[in-house]
C-alpha cells in the first residue's frame, strides 16, 4: 500500500442528482414539477376568462383586448421563469411569483 493512500479520506455521496432533480426532503416534503406550474398558469388564465375572449375573437373577429392579451403573456413569462428555477419553490402558487391583476 502506498503511503499517501493511508492519509486519503473518502466521502460517500448520496445516489441523487440534486443539481437537476431536487430531493423531496430538501423542498419541504413535496416535490414540485413543471407541470404543476403549467396548471397554475392555466388556472390563472381561466380565472381571467381567456377562453371566452378567444372564442369571442374567433366568432366575431373582434380581437382580445390588449390588457387581457398582455396579462396572459405576463402569466406565461412568469410560468417559464418559475420552471427554470432549481429548486422550484414549494409556494409557487403565491401571488408574489405572478403578475398583478389590476
Q: Where are the domains of the chain?
A: 32-102
Mean pLDDT of 65-79: 95
- 71: pLDDT strictly greater than 90: yes
In the predicted model, is pLDDT for residue 92 greater than 60?
yes
Residue 27: pLDDT above 50?
no
11-45: string of b/e by CB count within 10 Å (b at 16+)?
A: eeeeeeeeeeebeeeeeeeebbeeebbeebbeebb
What pLDDT does 101 receive? 78
- Tell me what pLDDT residue 31 has: 82
pTM (two decimals):
0.68
Amino acid at each position: 500500500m502506498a503511503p499517501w493512500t493511508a492519509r486519503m479520506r473518502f466521502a460517500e455521496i448520496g445516489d441523487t442528482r440534486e443539481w437537476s432533480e431536487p430531493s423531496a426532503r430538501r423542498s419541504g416534503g413535496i416535490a414540485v414539477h413543471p407541470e404543476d406550474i403549467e396548471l397554475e398558469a392555466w388556472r390563472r388564465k381561466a380565472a381571467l376568462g381567456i377562453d371566452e375572449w378567444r372564442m369571442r375573437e374567433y366568432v366575431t373577429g373582434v380581437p382580445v383586448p390588449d390588457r387581457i392579451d398582455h396579462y396572459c403573456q405576463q402569466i406565461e413569462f412568469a410560468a417559464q421563469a418559475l420552471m427554470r428555477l432549481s429548486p422550484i419553490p414549494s409556494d409557487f402558487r403565491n401571488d408574489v411569483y405572478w403578475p398583478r391583476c389590476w
